[in-house]
């Protein structure tokens, strides 16, 4: 892979400054420092940004640990990172979260890629128990799922070479692979990241999780501290501000002890990511009004699929974000936070018993109860006139048989789909949206 830029030379070019944002427990931070201790020959300093100025750190300091520097900072993750890059004194800075573990040789592998001219380098993104060989980043959807992503220009984060289809769908799959291959791991028309080519010992992407990413200090652009303090979509913001792509080496992989590969799974977090992406697209000259129009179209597609799958929280989050963006009321554009907006994530669905109680309070409730009792008696009488053949029920006529047959079909359908109490299960949908 050809070099992008000439690597820097000087006193700070041989070692690395580690910038850690500490927001989790001391246990996770201790695990990270232990993994760095075996690689301390490449480390010039470890800068730990934390919130509590009165917290004691004596139990983390040892002879085997690299030089540690504790700096109290504000609660904002973006403020922590900006302060860390200001304090760093080397040409290369490893931006690292405290809930990861770096295997032996991780820094050396990233350093080799930096010497080839890469300005930003990261390893593979793994979860505990996963290996680089078994990692595909995300489950590969079916061909219909890929066509749905293409139609609404939604994100894709898996190697398309692993997609297998039948003979009828092979021409469509070939066209989609050719289309996404021409985009070279950049962005969809709606601004979502694309990671579809992962072949070779190293590959380049525009957006990648910056959980342990080596960055040249002259490549770094400070974070916008007006965005969310919890670091929502910081990976997307940092990646979009870098002057070049991120090189991902398949030689090593960091282990992430978080919420799985989707990083987030709540409607509120998705809601903030949608608004952050729209804000970043407004601030970036790369994306024009057509890209923002495609973003609205993609949010509609995500909402429709979440609604179909029964993921109520994410569907409400997508629809609310779409409404705010369409009306020009994105809070980030007006200097406000998305946390100030209340989302009605409670499922608006009453149970059968609740509806029945509402009917009883109305006039004529007694008549409805009598009618329901008569229908129940009809069902019980019709049971004797049904013949059970395997799993199918054959009716021979009689009062209420058609109604019973409809109920049986619904119950059979509910059992096959795994429904409980006539509610759809929440299935994972577009985990790439939480990959930012």
Of 291, 310, 342, the one marking the end of a domain is 342
Whole-number pLDDT of residue 389: 40
**Same domain, yes or no: 74 and 11:** yes
| Nearest in space to 120 (alpha carbons), one of 189, 207, 58 | 207
For residue 134, pLDDT beyond 50: yes
Highest mean pLDDT, choosing among 26-30, 48-52, 289-293, 307-311: 289-293
User: Does residue 203 lie in a domain region?
Assistant: yes
**Average pLDDT in the chain:** 76
**Same domain, yes or no: 236 and 367:** no
- Cβ atoms of 423 and 407 within 8 Å: the answer is no
Whole-number pLDDT of residue 323: 92
Number of Cβ within a 10 Å radius of residue 237? 24
Q: Who's near 422: CB < 8 A, 6+ residues apart?
A: 352, 414
Domains in the chain, number: 4
pTM of the prediction? 0.74
**Same domain, yes or no: 249 and 130:** yes
**Same domain, yes or no: 183 and 331:** no
Name all contacts of 345-350 with Cβ < 8 Å and 24+ positions apart. 345/267, 345/268, 345/312, 345/313, 345/316, 345/317, 347/312, 349/423
User: Does residue 435 lie in a domain region?
Assistant: no
β-partners of residue 253 are 124
User: Does residue 426 lie in a domain region?
Assistant: no
**Same domain, yes or no: 66 and 125:** yes
pLDDT tens track for 359-407: 444 444 455 566 666 666 665 555 444 444 444 444 444 444 444 444 4
Q: How far apart are CA 4 and CA 100, in angstroms?
A: 28
Of 211, 244, 263, the one marking the end of a domain is 263
- Cβ atoms of 122 and 212 within 8 Å: the answer is yes
Domain CATH number, residue 237: 3.90.550.10
**Same domain, yes or no: 398 and 338:** no
Given pLDDT bands bounded at 50, 70 and 90, which one contains residue 300? very high
User: Does residue 294 lie in a domain region?
Assistant: yes
**Same domain, yes or no: 218 and 250:** yes
- For 215, the 3-state DSSP assignment is strand
User: Does residue 149 lie in a domain region?
Assistant: yes
**Same domain, yes or no: 300 and 364:** no
Owning domain of residue 169: 138-197
Of 207, 240, 263, the one marking the end of a domain is 263
**Same domain, yes or no: 86 and 204:** yes
Number of Cβ within a 10 Å radius of residue 140? 17
**Same domain, yes or no: 302 and 378:** no
Average of per-residue pLDDT across 263-279: 82
Sign of the CA dihedral 193, 259, 212, 222?
positive
User: Does residue 289 lie in a domain region?
Assistant: yes
| Nearest in space to 138 (alpha carbons), one of 376, 375, 433 | 433
Task: Assign residue 264 a region (left: φ > 0; alpha: ψ between -120 and 50; beta: otherwise).
Answer: beta
pLDDT tens track for 16-32: 999 998 876 788 888 88
**Same domain, yes or no: 146 and 176:** yes
User: Does residue 6 lie in a domain region?
Assistant: yes
**Same domain, yes or no: 21 and 128:** yes
User: Does residue 326 lie in a domain region?
Assistant: yes
């Amino acid at each position: 892979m050809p070099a992008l830029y000439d690597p820097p030379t000087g006193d700070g070019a041989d070692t690395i400054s580690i910038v850690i944002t500490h927001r989790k427990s001391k246990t996770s931070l201790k695990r990270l420092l232990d993994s760095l201790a075996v690689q301390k020959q490449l480390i010039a300093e470890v800068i730990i940004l934390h919130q509590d100025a009165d917290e004691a750190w004596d139990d983390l300091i040892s002879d085997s640990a690299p030089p540690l520097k504790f700096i109290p900072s504000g609660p904002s993750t973006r403020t922590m990172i900006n302060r860390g890059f200001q304090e760093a004194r080397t040409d290369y800075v490893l931006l690292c979260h405290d809930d990861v573990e770096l295997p032996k040789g991780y820094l050396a592998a990233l350093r080799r890629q930096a010497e080839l001219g890469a300005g930003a380098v990261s390893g593979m993104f793994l979860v505990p128990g996963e290996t680089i060989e078994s990692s595909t980043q995300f489950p590969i959807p079916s061909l219909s799922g890929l066509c749905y992503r293409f139609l609404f220009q939604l994100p894709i984060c898996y190697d398309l070479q692993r997609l297998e289809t039948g003979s009828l769908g092979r021409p469509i799959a070939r066209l989609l692979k050719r289309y996404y291959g021409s985009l070279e791991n950049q962005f969809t028309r709606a601004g979502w990241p694309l990671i579809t080519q992962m072949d070779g010992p190293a590959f380049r992407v525009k957006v990648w999780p910056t959980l342990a990413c080596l960055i040249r200090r002259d490549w770094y652009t400070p974070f916008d501290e007006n965005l969310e303090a919890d670091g929502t979509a910081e990976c997307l913001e940092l990646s979009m501000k870098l002057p070049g792509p991120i090189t991902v080496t398949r030689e090593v992989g960091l282990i992430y002890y978080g919420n799985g590969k989707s990083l987030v799974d709540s409607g509120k977090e998705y809601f903030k990511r949608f608004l952050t992406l729209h804000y970043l697209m407004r601030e970036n000259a790369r994306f024009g009004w057509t890209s923002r129009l495609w973003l609205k179209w993609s949010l509609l597609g995500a909402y429709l699929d979440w609604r179909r799958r029964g993921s109520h929280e994410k569907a409400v989050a997508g629809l609310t974000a779409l409404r705010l963006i369409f009306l020009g009321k994105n809070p980030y554009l007006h200097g406000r936070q998305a946390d100030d907006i209340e989302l009605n994530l409670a499922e608006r669905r009453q149970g059968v018993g609740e509806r029945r109680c509402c009917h009883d309070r109305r006039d004529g409730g007694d008549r409805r109860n009598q009618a329901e009792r008569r229908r129940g008696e009809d069902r019980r009488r019709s049971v004797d006139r049904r013949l059970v053949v395997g799993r199918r029920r054959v009716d021979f006529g009689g009062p209420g048989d058609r109604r019973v047959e409809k109920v049986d079909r619904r119950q059979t359908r509910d059992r096959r789909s795994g429904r409980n109490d006539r509610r759809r299960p929440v299935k994972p949908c577009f985990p790439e949206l939480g990959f930012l």
